[in-house]
């Protein structure tokens, strides 16, 4: 049997406990892949979006059939962007803090089990979002969230990720920033002054206990979320609910399923949160759903949770 080439791109800065940086973790991964004799595994350690993308491109050029992102959602997104509309599949080793895409796909947190998923023959084809020329796997947002992430990363070296997140959240809520934008879509538009405009790749669950999970990953729609009202107190309550992950649980929040939308601003460029990272793009921001754009390694049907199973079309 011919070996299948798998390239693993490891982000040593992923997570909150430094496990991705630990040499023992690298050895565990290599040992886990060694159990699969039909797989030829090569590991690459790099840092930063440019490094992840460059390694993914090298792996594709070398003939990798699966390119694995070992890290959090930011790492996964950077690697996945190189795989959109390619024959190679994305594999995920969830070494980050939240691992949203991995959870939605039903990828196990246990590294040995996640490696088993990567080395098996179960794949799915999922949608991705696109803003201007940049792809995203989970969501994008403008408003307070990019500012929160920037502040969190500035404080993180001194106090750690979660204390930094708490301090940044309290500061943001105290000095709530607002963004003014015109939202346009086919058949409608609205001028909003709001603390947050959220655009998801497919629809997110809004009922407990699965708040924040997606109802599917190939339903072919973006999910636009914004507050209906513009008064300060209402927007602060909506922002607090968003921070807690309650999404559109508040009656004052509007949610729409769309194929395409545009955000227009007076400024020439704007910072936005993109899969947990902050990027700066020129305006206007044009969002589109890109259906069936990415091949991903997933567990077999019987191992997936219902929201994923109903939304994925497996090639098994």
Closest CA to 139 of 199, 214, 206: 199
Residues whose CB is less than 8 angstroms from the CB of residue 207 and which lie 6 or more positions away in sequence, other chains included: none
Residue 52 has what pLDDT? 94
| Parallel, antiparallel or unpaired: strands 188-194 and 134-136 | unpaired
Mean pLDDT over 211-231 rounds to 85
pLDDT digits (tens, 9 = 90+) for 70-94: 999 999 999 999 999 999 999 999 9
Residue 308 has what pLDDT? 47
Mean pLDDT over 100-106 rounds to 93
Please say if the pLDDT value at position 126 is more than 50.
yes
pLDDT over 90 percentage in the chain: 53
Model pTM score: 0.85
Residue 144 has what pLDDT? 79
Please say if the pLDDT value at position 281 is more than 90.
yes
Closest CA to 25 of 36, 37, 14: 14
DSSP class of residue 249 equals -
């Amino acid at each position: 049997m011919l070996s299948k080439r798998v390239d693993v791109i490891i982000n040593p800065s992923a997570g909150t406990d430094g496990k991705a940086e630990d040499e023992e973790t690298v050895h565990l991964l290599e040992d886990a892949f060694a159990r699969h004799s039909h797989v030829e595994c090569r590991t690459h350690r790099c840092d930063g979006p440019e490094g992840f993308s460059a390694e993914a491109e090298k792996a594709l050029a070398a003939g990798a059939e699966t390119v694995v992102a070992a890290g959090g959602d930011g790492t996964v997104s950077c690697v996945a962007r190189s795989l959109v509309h390619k024959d190679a599949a994305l594999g995920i080793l969830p070494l980050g803090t939240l691992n949203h895409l991995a959870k939605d796909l039903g990828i196990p947190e246990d590294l040995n089990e996640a490696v088993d998923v990567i080395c098996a023959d179960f794949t799915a084809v999922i949608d991705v979002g696109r803003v201007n020329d940049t792809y995203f796997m989970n969501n994008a947002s403008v408003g307070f969230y990019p500012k929160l992430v920037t502040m969190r990363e500035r404080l993180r070296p001194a106090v750690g990720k979660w204390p930094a997140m708490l301090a940044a959240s309290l500061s943001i809520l105290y000095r709530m920033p607002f963004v003014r934008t015109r939202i346009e879509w086919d058949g409608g538009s609205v001028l909003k002054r709001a603390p947050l405009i959220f655009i998801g790749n497919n629809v997110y669950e809004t009922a407990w206990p699965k708040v924040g999970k997606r109802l599917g990953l190939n339903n072919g729609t973006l999910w636009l979320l914004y507050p209906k009202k513009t008064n300060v107190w209402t927007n602060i309550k909506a922002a607090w609910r968003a921070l807690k992950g309650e999404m559109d649980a508040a009656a004052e929040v509007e949610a729409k399923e769309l194929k395409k939308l545009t955000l227009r601003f007076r400024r020439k460029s704007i910072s936005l949160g993109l899969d947990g990272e902050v990027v700066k793009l020129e305006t206007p921001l044009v969002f589109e759903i890109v259906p069936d754009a990415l091949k991903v390694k997933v567990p077999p049907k019987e191992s997936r949770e219902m929201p994923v199973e109903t939304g994925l079309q497996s090639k098994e």
